[in-house]
Amino acid sequence: MIIRARTVVTMDGAPIDNGAVAVSDDRIDDVGKFDEITSRNAGEIIDLGEQALLPGLINAHCHLDYTCLRGKIPPQKSFADWIRAINTEKANLSAKDYLASINDGFAEAKRFGTTTIANPTAFPGLIPKISAPIRTWWFAELIDVRAPDRAGEIVELAIESLKSAHNWGLAPHALFTASKKLYRRCEEIARRNDILLTTHLAESLEETEMFRDASGPLYEFLKSIGRPMNDCGSKTPLARFLDLIGRGGSPNRPRAIEVNRPYLPWIVAHLNELIESDFDSLERSETRFHVVHSPRSHDYFKHSPFPFEKLRALGFNICLGTDSLASNENLSLFAEMRAFQKEFPSVPPEEVLQMVTVNPARALRQENALGRIQRGCRADLISIPCSGTDEVFAEIIAFEEAVDWILLNGKEKRNTPHAAKLAK
């Protein structure tokens, strides 16, 4: 099959005007000017017309579990209050509700042109019951705050369910809900099975207050539910995390330890609240994990400004994610890109698009398979209208509709009845 479009945005060099992509089965075979592609390849030609063809978008952090909580939780006075509010909502939900919520979320993400999603779920037991319509990295979100002695057991149980998924990983929820033992166990398993790891880190100021000062609403809340608080009152969340993953950045750390325990490339959500000493630690530790920023969820919680420039200057791979609809209004990565642009207007649109294509592909260790249009990559493509100006990246980010045309794993999908009519 040969797909022609006004512009092919490969994310691997300049966009190609009057371009085409040759696809066989689930892979991209060739990409270039329409004339070149038709001279080198045979097959049915699909002409998308005045459209930009680009890689399917990748959501680097989402919780489809909570799609049904859209609009249910107004912004709260504190992060701890938000946790209380979501827990109250969750108490009314059954497994059936969560199943519907996850399926609705998948449909919505796909409607907005997302073809790959990194999705921590608090209910890994539901995974075998779900047929994901897009490429999914399922992470089991693990919490042992009420049962720190059962860390090993909690991980083992989750893995049993995760094994039914094609792509999976582990997600100790956050330093304030998952024990050191749980993090360590997840790292051990990741080393053994070559799987991905993700977690939430330094999301709120209250998390910093809790770990550094042993005070604040989050500290009080977790103490009240019986969390052992003896890890609080000294280090920032980031410093604790670096210690935990063996990258505390001590200048005297023997090199051999680093060699024996090469650090794992965690996908870290948030990193909103870092202090000066945290940046020093990051610089010293040379740890370069992947970072996911969720601009609209960030805005909902009114966190401190995301330190994008500093993290970028330190060489971090920065991706965008929607987070869940308990703190966001929809699952559109286009809207997420627009929110990011509002925060950081000087960042070029092409770089913003990288944060939902090539960057998350790298975080998922799929840099040669996803996020770009290149020979050998998976045939995950989307197409949106374009006017043929030089501002194709800006036009893509400004796109506000549902995505009509999607190619997923080499299979054509139409999202709306309108598109189906056009196809005839």
Least Å distance, CB 323 to Zn ion, is 5
Per-residue CA distances from 273 to 30, 161, 171 (Å): 44, 34, 20
Least Å distance, CB 63 to Zn ion, is 6
Residue written as token pair 């030609």 = 45
The beta strand positions in 56-173, using DSSP E, are: 57-59, 114-121, 135-142, 167-172
Taking the least distance from each CB to Zn ion, the nearer of 63 and 378 is: 63
Cβ neighbours of 314 (radius 10 Å): 14
Least Å distance, CB 120 to Zn ion, is 7
SS3 383: strand
CA dihedral 375, 377, 378, 381 (to 10 degrees): -70
SS3 227: coil
Taking the least distance from each CB to Zn ion, the nearer of 323 and 395 is: 323
Taking the least distance from each CB to Zn ion, the nearer of 292 and 392 is: 292
Contact between 327 and 301 under an 8 Å Cβ cutoff? The reply is yes
Least Å distance, CB 321 to Zn ion, is 8
Least Å distance, CB 138 to Zn ion, is 14
Taking the least distance from each CB to Zn ion, the nearer of 53 and 109 is: 109
Taking the least distance from each CB to Zn ion, the nearer of 221 and 399 is: 221
Q: Who contacts 111 (Cβ-Cβ below 8 Å, separation ≥6)?
A: 402, 403, 415
Least Å distance, CB 421 to Zn ion, is 38
Cα(254)–Cα(250) distance, integer angstroms: 9
Q: Which two tokens stand for residue 18?
A: 């009057």
Q: Which two tokens stand for residue 222?
A: 């977790």
Taking the least distance from each CB to Zn ion, the nearer of 58 and 406 is: 58
Least Å distance, CB 58 to Zn ion, is 16
Least Å distance, CB 322 to Zn ion, is 9
Least Å distance, CB 224 to Zn ion, is 23
Least Å distance, CB 173 to Zn ion, is 8
Taking the least distance from each CB to Zn ion, the nearer of 167 and 198 is: 198
Q: List the one residue out of 56, 66, 58 whose CA is nearest residue 137.
A: 58
Positions in the binding site for Zn ion (CB under 5 A):
323
Taking the least distance from each CB to Zn ion, the nearer of 323 and 380 is: 323
Taking the least distance from each CB to Zn ion, the nearer of 51 and 297 is: 297
Phi and psi at residue 58, in whole multiples of 5°?
Answer: -120, 120
Contact between 326 and 69 under an 8 Å Cβ cutoff? The reply is yes
Q: Who contacts 347 (Cβ-Cβ below 8 Å, separation ≥6)?
A: 308, 340, 341
Q: Please give the distance of CA 17 from its chain centroid, rounded to a whole number.
A: 30
Least Å distance, CB 247 to Zn ion, is 22
Q: Which two tokens stand for residue 287?
A: 């740890």
Q: Which two tokens stand for residue 91?
A: 């108490």
Residue written as token pair 């579990």 = 65
Residue written as token pair 């042993």 = 214
Taking the least distance from each CB to Zn ion, the nearer of 167 and 272 is: 272
Taking the least distance from each CB to Zn ion, the nearer of 9 and 196 is: 196
Q: Who contacts 83 (Cβ-Cβ below 8 Å, separation ≥6)?
A: 218, 221
Q: List the one residue out of 204, 201, 185, 182 whose CA is nearest residue 193.
A: 185
Q: Which DSSP state fits 206? A: H
Residue written as token pair 């609240």 = 273
